[in-house]
Amino acid sequence: MEQTVAATSDKPQDQQPSPYIKFVRPHLLGLAPYVGVEPPEELARKAGLPVERIVKLNANENPYGPSPKVARGLVAGSNYHIYPDPEQRVARQALAEYAGTDVGPEHIVVGAGSDELIDLLLRLFVGPGDMVVDCPPTFGYYAFAIGVAGGKVVEAPRDAEFNLDLEAFKEAVAAGAKLAFVASPNNPTGNVLYKDQVEKLLETGIIVVMDEAYYEFCGVTMVHLMPKHDNLVVLRSFSKWAGLAGLRLGYGCFPVWMAELIRKIKPPYSLNAAAQVALLESLADREHLKGTVRAIVAEQERLMAALKELPFLKVYPSQANFILCAVKDGEALSLVQSLEKKGIYLRYYDTPRLKDSFRISVGKPEDSETLLKALRDWGRVKGTL
């Protein structure tokens, strides 16, 4: 799941609060919502453009979409009236073979996106007041989901280059945290964590959740460490490399003791039959998907080089299918808004650590061209080019 825009409320403005609101758990009432990305049709409506003109570079989606075998498999499927296997046997077997030599089906749990596995981990470990390490700037869903669970976020801020700060992490652990979420590559900064660093995190003795949603774009994984460490979880997603964001498919590789508990508490049928078809067809067609991943990585490098030519941008390195940029003269918002008028949607940030920044999801070469032209036009208007 990705967060970009503020949702418009469907609630009438003058509606009185329900008397039953008193039964809602109080910590949820004050919680800021997680706002997901809007669909292309809505973006087109806002921009006043036909949907084909929308260049959607705001949610790290895969512009090439799923394997063509997915659509064929979905049409051929026949058991949609039967509940899917609550034990996810076929999917777990296929994923174990994909995830790596040391991973077996006993380690795996599949979810409706890796978001669901994040929620299940919190359901397993975090109750009201329990502390969880978050390493900002990072994927906003962690802090939101910790809040929903009633947990308390303990921040271990990343350093100036957005690399993980081990000392800050240790301080967060010393404050009493029991669990940490660490994305690698990190969204939105693109930094990767290597084995030596991860081993140091594991030595702190808390549960370390390595979120590898973008693994296929960089090839760096910690999954082989998992069977040797009872406190390491690796999360993966089919939303990005396999182009299946719309079908909601993620999985986790857990130590056996934890996988058993996660399976025990999960909703029984969260891997739906359509997602299972998509999973199996994607894995069977992984050579095709690896080809689209290679195209995205090549395009990322080409786009990165072109962005670096623009004097008004600071471009951060990235090992994923997105690029973080800061606008040097502090006009990121007006830049992003002017692009939106042209139907080009990026992810804008204005947090203290990501001031005047935006993240570009890598699209097809023609998407990059449209974006680069609009950026150059903006630079000319501003006199910075």
Tokens standing for residue 75: 């049409």
Which residue's CB is nearer to ligand PLP, number 112 or number 375? Answer: 112
Which residue's CB is nearer to ligand PLP, number 184 or number 370? Answer: 184
Q: Could you tell me if 284 and 277 are in contact, meaning their C-beta atoms sit under 8 angstroms apart?
A: no
Q: How many CB atoms lie within 10 A of CB 127?
A: 10
CB of 1 to ligand PLP, least distance (A): 5
SS3 367: helix
CB of 144 to ligand PLP, least distance (A): 12
**Residue tagged 């090839």 (tokens):** 219
Q: Could you tell me if 225 and 176 are in contact, meaning their C-beta atoms sit under 8 angstroms apart?
A: no
Which residue's CB is nearer to ligand PLP, number 183 or number 273? Answer: 183
CB of 36 to ligand PLP, least distance (A): 10
SS3 36: strand
CB of 183 to ligand PLP, least distance (A): 4
SS3 351: coil
Q: How many CB atoms lie within 10 A of CB 273?
A: 18
Would you tell me which residues interact with ligand PLP (CB under 6 A)? 1-2, 60, 113-115, 139, 183, 187, 211, 213, 237, 239, 245, 250
Which residue's CB is nearer to ligand PLP, number 62 or number 237? Answer: 237
CB of 110 to ligand PLP, least distance (A): 11
CB of 250 to ligand PLP, least distance (A): 4
Q: Please name the amino acid found at residue 156.
A: A
CB of 24 to ligand PLP, least distance (A): 25
Which residue's CB is nearer to ligand PLP, number 237 or number 368? Answer: 237
> CA-CA distance, 151 to 155, in Å (whole number)?
13
> CA-CA distance, 125 to 142, in Å (whole number)?
14
Which residue's CB is nearer to ligand PLP, number 137 or number 250? Answer: 250
Q: Which residue is nearest to ligand PLP (CB)?
A: 113
Q: Which helix (H) or strand (E) holds 256?
A: helix 256-265
> CA-CA distance, 160 to 233, in Å (whole number)?
27
Beta strands 55-56 and 344-345: pairing type? Answer: parallel
CB of 199 to ligand PLP, least distance (A): 21
Which residue's CB is nearer to ligand PLP, number 249 or number 304? Answer: 249
> CA-CA distance, 305 to 292, in Å (whole number)?
20
> CA-CA distance, 273 to 222, in Å (whole number)?
29
Q: Please name the amino acid found at residue 230.
A: D
Which residue's CB is nearer to ligand PLP, number 187 or number 231? Answer: 187
